[in-house]
Chain A
Amino acid sequence: MASNQLVKDPFNVIITGVGGQGNVMASRILSNMLVQKGYFVTIGETFGASQRGGSVMSHIRISSHSTWSPQVPKGRAHIVVTLEPIEAIRVLANYGNEEVKVLTNTRPIYPAGVIAGESAYPAIEEIEATLKKLSHGVWLIDATEEAVKLGNPILGNIIMIGALSALGDLPVNRDDFNAVIRRTLPGDKVADNLKAFDMGAALLKN
């Protein structure tokens, strides 16, 4: 059993984005970092047909003593990490509260309706203002742009995990990340993932 360093138990993290952004991978890596520290973690995920261009969400429930339901109750998210900015707003409508913290990638993936001109996509400044009104703190991170610089946009998810770890609300650090990816990823991917993690941590601190 873990020595309980959670500010809330269960501590609820929601990772959200659009199918294909590595949402599931991000939730697995974060959860494994916590499991190896002795915490109970439940991940509730939507994937399958729901991943084809649609919104995807992972609910991560972290506890020092038991397994919680794979769905966070309304209004009970502590941290929302989003790989696509408007998905943060969508998630807050159900799971947000005055105390929630939001870490969001700034890179939009336009819904088909927006591409077709049937609906409008808000400017990033508007998204930021909305998120500020609905949360205790917002961190905007250019994860995809930085990941492209690292050579692969998919690393945006790891940049966000790096940022989340640096936020300090969860009892996880770089060593935990390193241990998990060395166990779960092919050897040639480790260096790039560590770089992405460090990049995320640095971006949060700026």
Chain B
Amino acid sequence: MSHLTDTKKDASYLVMGNEAIVRGAIEAGVNVASGYPGTPSSEIIESLSRVASERNLYVEWSVNEKVALEVAAAASFAQLRSLCAMKQNGVNVASDFLLHLVGSGTRGGFVLVTCDDPGALSSVNEGESRYFSRLMEIPLLEPGNFQEAKDMTKWAFELSEELKQIVVVRSVTRMSHASGNIRYGELPDIERKAEFKYSGFIFDPEEGVVISAPVDWKHQQQQAKVKRAMEIFENCPFNTYEGPDKPELLLITSSACYLYSKEAVNVLGIEDRVGILKLGTTWPLPPKLLAKNLSRTQKIMIVEEVLPFLEENVKILAAEMAAEIGVKTFYGKKDGTIPMTNELNPDLVISGLSKILGMEYVPVSAEYDQLAKLSAFVGAPARDQVFCPGCPHRASFLSIHNALELDGRKGFVCGDIGCYSMAVRPTGFETLKTLHSMGSGMGVASGFGKLGQFGMDQPILAVCGDSTFYHAVIPALVNAVHNKANITLVVLDNSGTAMTGFQPHPGLDYNVMGDEVPCIDVAKICSAIGARVEITDPFDLKGTREMLNNLIEDSNGVKVLIMRKACALSPQRKNKKDFEMRVDETICLGEECGCNRFCTRIFRCPGLVWNEKKKKAEIDQVICAGCGVCADICPQHAIVKEEVA
């Protein structure tokens, strides 16, 4: 049983930010939850699925974020409470539906949780979801600590029902994946019945059709909701001020930056000089609350991550209210006090504060700092990200790399998001040459595949993962087949959404609720679309490489090669060695072999290391996953595999 449904009063629970959000949704009586996995959001749907039967929820991993938002919207239209969770990039995918949804309005409380990743700790960009709230004209809430992550999510459902509009709760990696103590509230005991009412007058928000037209009238309704939200936010307990009545400097912040700001003020010991206005409601901003706080002082510092969203919005209000509050001096992104890329931390806020207040702050002695930095430079060699020991991608990309080398026509691979994105690095033999959003490898390849009329004669490949295939590759595949692009798609099928932690996808016969469900076969889809389809086991290096060359040479339209092997960390393979591996020292020729230490310099599996003393390769038995692939790469056959009984 999950602690997320505990009913103990006055107990303190250590929860991840994402779990706090989940508890808030449970306390609000959420009925339906959907999403698509993406770090740092994935634990929200996972945790909800674990309490689904106990709390009578319907929870699903949808095929992509747009469909997830549509699925959750249906529940809201049927007067249920629903939650949809995704990482920031997912909001881009869902945004087309979102724009229509905000025009039509919602019924049951509907909360969109977006988890942004400033600093791209687990992403290939640091995109912003906050601007969607302004663009789509919908309320935006940002928790500033773990307790608020719970309380605010619960409140977001109530707000959504009051406004008849979707409400966004935005978290960041340092909130979603951090943990802290919270106290739980009560669990509700309400049964909601799903019914979609559509027979009322077209303008009736409760019983009319759900549609964003007539546009002018609906848009006016939508903007009235924003205005109402603004009024509610004027007296919202999630907007707080701490500090002297008339501080020297007013710091305005939100989200995880609130914790950094508090810490920075504490470290510098300037609690009597600096006031902190922490905003939990960051769109629309409540003007009266801002006027009151901006009036406290002349110097204003705005602390937020990545783009100057808060800064711009505060400055617009300050300009409108200048006659009332006077002219202010702003410090933030625009003047360079706070960096405009990457995540923040207490030190960056300390640095900004010290600059403005003319203070000097030395965290450690210059002598220590210099020695520590030098020691790390000399004594802590960089740790590049690598495919795990036993990862099928290492074998797959070795075959793709070798096939392209053998082909000799400067072929290349277009890719997208997954563990296999690392194939731009040496761990994937630097095989990927373009890397963009989910499914983009296939779309970009489809475009390259039509450049023959301009003289392009390089073989073109795309790669995608199995979950990605369903998410966004199918339309690109249809496009490539229909437009007769001459390309090869490699589906790296490792039996799950591996990078985010093995969430099930439509290719599997079970779902997140543990039900048996029909699986949608990749090979059959590709065949039905009209591609030539082949399947290999990437651990069969020779067979896979030969098949790939055969497909690349086939100039007749779209070919698909499914390389099928479960992820080394999947439940079916984790901690299970197929082979015991060892290097026969009497056979390994070390540097004397003509192979240029292929096993350790090129193949680079963490389980296959170089013994400096013996000048031979050896297996690190603690790390080796026993996949057996390296036995086939040694020209001397010095790497020996023995099947585990």
Contact = CB atoms under 8 A, between A and B. Distances in A.
Given A47-B177, A48-B39, A130 B379 contact: yes
Contacts of B177: 45-48
B374 to A, nearest CB: 9
Among B179, B384, B426, B600, max chain A CB count under 10 A is at B179
B269 interface: no
B384 A112 contact: yes
B267 interface: yes
B122 interface: yes
Contact of A52 (B14, B173, B388, B622): B388
A170 interface: no
Contacts of A153: 622
Interface string A58-74: 00000000011111011
Contacts of A38: 12
Given A45-B178, A115-B606, A69 B262 contact: yes
A191 interface: no
A149 to B, nearest CB: 12
Contact of A67 (B145, B264, B375, B376): B145
A81 interface: no
Interface string B583-609: 000000000000001001100101011
A120 B384 CA distance: 14
Nearest to B351: A74
Interface in B360-410: 363-365, 368-369, 371-373, 375-376, 378-388
B381 A67 contact: no
B174 interface: yes
A53 B385 contact: yes
Interface stretch (A86-94, A159-167, A171-179, A195-203): A86-94
Contact of A70 (B256, B372, B386, B608): B256
Interface string B345-360: 1110010000000000
A133 interface: yes
Interface string B458-476: 0000000000000000000
A73 B267 contact: yes
A111 B384 CA distance: 7
A90 B373 CA distance: 8
B539 interface: no
A73 B178 contact: no
A133 B368 CA distance: 9
Interface of B: 12-14, 39-40, 121-123, 145-147, 173-175, 177-181, 256, 259-260, 262-264, 267, 345-347, 350, 363-365, 368-369, 371-373, 375-376, 378-388, 419, 422, 426-427, 499-500, 597, 600-601, 604, 606, 608-610, 620, 622-623
A15 interface: no
16 contacts: A42-B180, A44-B174, A46-B177, A48-B500, A52-B388, A54-B384, A67-B146, A67-B259, A69-B263, A73-B346, A73-B363, A74-B347, A76-B363, A112-B606, A116-B600, A126-B379
A180 B422 CA distance: 37
Given A52-B387, A112-B426, A115-B608, A70 B379 contact: no
A87 B380 contact: yes
A106 interface: no
B604 A111 contact: no
A76 B426 CA distance: 35
Contact of B14 (A31, A86, A148): A31
Contacts of B384: 53-54, 111-113
Given A49-B419, A112-B604, A134 B372 contact: yes
